[in-house]
Structure 1
């Protein structure tokens, strides 16, 4: 069964069927009921503007939740009707940004340091024998590796090491999926989809399932991204 321990910074995507009450309060209730956590709207989605009447929809926030504007035009939203959210554009922007990060890592860190053991290996040592290897000790051992230290020095998250070392396509693929889904998804019928563990493989399994579910929703369904406060 999927599990999710809510922590600050996690994002949950809440889905609503056509005709359901789909405002911010309804999304908050679903998150609280399933995760016993409170949250705030997360403006993660780019907004779609239709070509024919794009000049008009650009300035109207109908069917959107917590929309943000730039020079009067609606640009981002925490959610809304699926047909009004530019999910393709949201994923493309995340993929572009992730590719730039990976290439910078490849140039400045991968080319100058030896491969390192990922955090998951040290975390497994802690789980195997917590008395012998505390969580703090596991973290110390991981971060003392030259490649992990280099990532810290360059402001790159060393706990994503395994994904960086898996290659550009894997790193980019993870992050465009995260941009659409976040850390968990609540379906229209109230089911919680979440990774079964903290491993990257389980995150990919969850994200693939959640992306397929999102793709299968009708265009009139609504979404809301909630950041755990």
Structure 2
């Protein structure tokens, strides 16, 4: 079965072995060679500052790619040497923000509406009988549910319904992994890792594998986050 290709508008993490040319142009070339799409760096990672010399290193962008500054201090980067990226802080911030979103959802939606069927259920009906249940009809049936309508009214993504209904820990758990990996990962040896399908379960399997790979990389390995155009 062919590996699915991430569509445009997604984020791909590109990994490089220590000592190789690892600027954002090289990362974009890897993405283009594998997926035949173009991309540019996106600042996703918080920058790590060592406790004893952090007051000095926070003003220098060495070993970082496309660094952003605030009041002169480096705060975010599109990538760089793994040891200079605050991966723990990046994940923690994403988990915190996701937990706040879930609690708002639970207050306005979860506590006031009945559970609803996720879009995947209606999409399965379309795949079984596409002439009877068109894609438009599957979407219409999904969005007619009171909980989904409430999510649309409060600007929550209704296509994350199954994730919201799985609970705060699951919702935050997916989003902190996404903050580290994005939607696909290219390994140092040029392999492309993506979810097998769009299901939440397959996304978790992919993200768990990609996070384990990231954790095993040497501190002097390089990373770069690329947003596809």
Match of 2:222 in 1: 222
Q: Secondary structure at the match of 1:208?
A: helix
Aligned CA-pair RMSD: 1.0
Range that drifts further, 119-128 or 150-159: 119-128
Match of 2:135 in 1: 135
Work out the CA distance in 2 between the residues paired with 1:5 and 1:201: 18
Work out the CA distance in 1 between the residues paired with 2:23 and 2:123: 39
Work out the CA distance in 1 between the residues paired with 2:10 and 2:4: 10
Match of 1:104 in 2: 104
Tell me by how many angstroms 1:131 deviates: 1.8
Deviations 1:72-107 (A, max 9, x none): 110000000000000000000000000000011111
Match of 1:169 in 2: 169
Match of 1:35 in 2: 35
Q: List alignment gaps of at least 5 residues for structure 2.
A: none
Match of 1:204 in 2: 204
Match of 1:146 in 2: 146
Work out the CA distance in 2 between the residues paired with 1:126 and 1:5: 22
Tell me by how many angstroms 1:2 deviates: 6.7
Taking structure 1 as reference, are residues 47 and 169 closer, same or farther at Cα in structure 2, changes over 3 Å only? Answer: same
Taking structure 1 as reference, are residues 2 and 165 closer, same or farther at Cα in structure 2, changes over 3 Å only? Answer: farther
Work out the CA distance in 1 between the residues paired with 2:181 and 2:195: 12
Q: List alignment gaps of at least 5 residues for structure 1.
A: none
Work out the CA distance in 1 between the residues paired with 2:10 and 2:3: 13
Match of 2:126 in 1: 126
2:8–2:37 CA contact under 8 A, matched in 1:
no
Normalization by structure 1: what TM-score? 0.97
Tell me by how many angstroms 1:126 deviates: 1.6
Q: Secondary structure at the match of 1:12?
A: strand
Work out the CA distance in 2 between the residues paired with 1:72 and 1:136: 50
Deviations 1:94-153 (A, max 9, x none): 000000000111111011110000011111112222222221111111111110010010
Q: Secondary structure at the match of 1:80?
A: strand
Tell me by how many angstroms 1:7 deviates: 2.6
Q: Aligned pairs, how many?
A: 229
Match of 1:75 in 2: 75
Q: Secondary structure at the match of 1:76?
A: strand
Normalization by structure 2: what TM-score? 0.97
